[in-house]
Structure 1
Amino acid sequence: MKSNQNIVEELVNYQNILLTNVKKHWRRYLFTELHADERLLGIKGLRGVGKTTLLLQYLVGALEKGTKGLFVTAEHPYFYQHSIFDLASLWVSYGGDLLLIDEIHKYPNWSRELKLIYDGFPHLQVIFTSSSALDLYQGEADLSRRLDVQVLHGLSFREYLSLNGIGHFESVTLEEISADPQKIPSEIINQLKSPILPLFKNYLASGYFPFSNELKKERIPQRLIQILNTVLESDLSMVEGYSAANVTKIKNLLGVISETVPFEPNISKLAERMHLGRNTINIYLKNLEDAKILNLLFERVKGISQLQKPAKIYLENSNFLYAFQQNPSIGTIRETYILNQLRNSGHLVGSSKKGDFKIDESIVLEVGGRNKDYTQIKEVDNAYLAVDDLEIGFGNKIPLWLFGFLY
């Protein structure tokens, strides 16, 4: 039987191996926004967006400040015979004050033990990552008064440019780009090393995930399909307790939707076609949205019930479109991108009877190509065009690519 000292040494050695490979000079947007003063912090996000790297980068900074931190993954063999609570107790006994746990959704009873750790070790900070499919407030134990949750989204277009060494820029607000759609784009373009529009097309097709700069472009769709399958077969199964039959039905539903996105659902016909109940279809849709595979667009942006029918259904990001289809519709690509970037930057987005989207209950946005005019929104107050194939905006026309600088 291993001694406690041997166990700690093994875990620290494992951590040190990971730290030798961590990127130290490029960080995701959330790194500077982390609620680092929280004693219990959860970071959710889709697979592949960089949650593990974010934890390790945070640990590097903490260690440099003298904090005694430990990184583990919930899949580590240590947890075959020990609990998270055991580890926290052991680490505290060795003077530890920071515990980082990766992929906590793979550990049973995670919420109950986090509650015990929070209450029992008031000087230990715990930061963990989980699948976006996991509702961190709905575990067996009530963590709502103890837990803070942040979400790590895929790369913005701004981050994509920075990751690839093309240009480093600060994020902008929706108010700033709508107030002057000419000044900010001009400043960005003047600093770029390459033309903006081809870069934007590359981002739409394959730039949403940080691994995009490590893989050959033709291999990215295959990697995305692997991510989707893992989320469906592993994460959703673990989080929702779904059987293989449930997962197959969810895959079939996703297949139907991906054929015609943006999908305007007739829930009754969809339920009949798939031999499922209406409520089951709505629950599956909600699961797919929680897992960051779909974006559901409703007429109202507040007070949405779980069983309310969405007006339209989109894939969560434009890269998924290219994984499902070789040549997706350019109109669908534009709308998918806009909805993704607006929501990822914290805006409330609903459908609009005039225009494509209503933002924060106040701004109407119509999306289109270079020749798009104001016909659909000419009588609408506070309305704008998001225009593709346009480098610099003017009037109420905002370049489509500029929405990728919101976070």
Structure 2
Amino acid sequence: MELNPDVLYRNSHRLVSQVSLDFKREVYDRINWKPRIIGIKGPKGVGKSTLLKQHIREAFPDDSKVLYASLDHIWFNGNSLDDLVEYHYIHGGTHLFLDEVHKYKNWQWGIKNIYDNYPSLNVVFTGSSMLQIDEGNADLSRRATMNIVNGMSFREYLAFEGILSWDKVSLDDILSRHVEIATEITNKVHVLDYFDDYLHQGYYPFYKEDPEGFDERLAEVCKQVIEQDIPAVTEVEYATVQKLKKLLYIIAAQVPFIPKMEDIYTQLEVNREQGLKLLDLLERAALIGQLKTNVKAVKKISSPDKLFLDNPNLMYALSSAPEIGTIRETFFYNQLSRVCKVNYPDRGDFLVDDRYLFEVGGPKKSFNQIKDVENSFLAIDGVEFGRGNKIPLWLFGFLY
């Protein structure tokens, strides 16, 4: 079935003209939009498509030479990316914005051919967090400038809601100046009034479209990632897809926990190597987090010492009754792992950057487990500001 490419141009104009510029993710301003080939990857639902459309609307008042197209559009069932590129080029096109590239077979070769054969054409593409541009014969690593988009931090959520605009805070500043910083912030807004809302549904910007139906939609997103995105990026059989869904359910029902891997392998009817590969796929798809010791972390694939869902929103969407302690640890791991190296320690909950030891808990949490350990800290939930080495948990949401 062949379709006139005009449908793509009409669709592009409509989508770009309707996108809002009221709020832009902070990563928008960090992206260098000048290179000829730009890649943007990240979890499904964090706003990658919106970034493209916002940039087109803002940077190209006349969009006659620009095209936004999602590569899972039906047009590509009867036509190739090469067809579109040639058509766009001979009709004066200068910029292509290609969304969901992982849905298109051999997309790497398509992007490479554009780079090699159309030197005056600029391309920005988005794809799954699983994209590996340094794998395969096309080797885009020398050609494409890659950018990573994560879900919204607590700080970004407050800005998205119009509650508070604040610069990101470094880990060193949090550790040394947390009382001063927390006081400045809480003098402007009672952050605890919004922290629980963020944990429920603030990581993925699309929650605003339907807050009441967000959990159901997020669960559906997880299903789509496993059934569509993972098979699009790496070759997996139908049976593997079913095992991935079962594994995610097992993790959601128990996180965070120190896994008995042999029990998991038995439940999934897989061997050790197969089981670890399943965990790796879920982590690359940004559905889970694997906390490992330093020794295990240096290995390409190794068994985790502790398992988490990727972020607290997933806990509420996939778990029937998430436990508050689990939510706290998941939030801390999610926010810190985006900007720091986080490992499983001999004592305490988290070892950060091989230097700082953290325990996470509620207002009554004590130093008993990590007393007398140098550079040890408590991340405390339910308090607006801390004291000494006791730091409010919410403040770690200002790291990015």
- 1:86 and 1:92 map into 2 onto residues whose CA distance is 10
Calculate the TM-score normalised by the size of structure 1.
Answer: 0.93
Q: CA 1:233/1:51 → structure 2, altered by over 3 Å: closer, same or farther?
A: same
Residue 341 of structure 2 is aligned to residue 348 of structure 1: yes
- Amino acid in the other structure paired with 2:210: L
Contact 1:41 1:127 in 2 (8 A): yes
For 2:263, the equivalent position in structure 1 comes to 269
For 1:300, the equivalent position in structure 2 comes to 294
For 2:141, the equivalent position in structure 1 comes to 144
For 2:110, the equivalent position in structure 1 comes to 113
- Amino acid in the other structure paired with 1:201: D
Shift of 1:114: 1.0
Shift of 1:64: 3.8
Gaps of 5+ in 1: none
Cα deviations by residue, 1:155-199 (Å, 9 ceiling, x for unpaired): 11111111112122111111111111111111112222xx32131
For 1:402, the equivalent position in structure 2 comes to 395
Residue 155 of structure 2 is aligned to residue 158 of structure 1: yes
Q: CA 1:349/1:80 → structure 2, altered by over 3 Å: closer, same or farther?
A: same
Q: CA 1:67/1:145 → structure 2, altered by over 3 Å: closer, same or farther?
A: farther
Shift of 1:258: 1.5
Q: How does 1:79-98 map to 2 (within 5 A)?
A: 79-98=76-95
Residue 311 of structure 2 is aligned to residue 317 of structure 1: yes
For 1:225, the equivalent position in structure 2 comes to 219
- 2:76 and 2:297 map into 1 onto residues whose CA distance is 40
Q: CA 1:67/1:339 → structure 2, altered by over 3 Å: closer, same or farther?
A: farther
For 1:197, the equivalent position in structure 2 comes to 192
Shift of 1:140: 4.3
Residue 288 of structure 2 is aligned to residue 287 of structure 1: no
Shift of 1:135: 2.3
- 2:297 and 2:145 map into 1 onto residues whose CA distance is 22
Q: Aligned to 2:383, which of 376, 390, 402?
A: 390
Contact 1:205 1:322 in 2 (8 A): yes
Q: Aligned to 1:242, which of 218, 221, 236?
A: 236
Cα deviations by residue, 1:23-66 (Å, 9 ceiling, x for unpaired): 11201121011132322222111111111101101112220498
Gaps of 5+ in 2: none
* SS of aligned partner of 1:119: helix
Q: CA 1:19/1:388 → structure 2, altered by over 3 Å: closer, same or farther?
A: same
Q: Aligned to 1:206, which of 201, 204, 209?
A: 201
CA RMSD of aligned residues (A): 2.1
For 2:362, the equivalent position in structure 1 comes to 369
* SS of aligned partner of 2:294: coil
- 2:295 and 2:319 map into 1 onto residues whose CA distance is 29
- 2:342 and 2:64 map into 1 onto residues whose CA distance is 41
- Amino acid in the other structure paired with 2:124: I
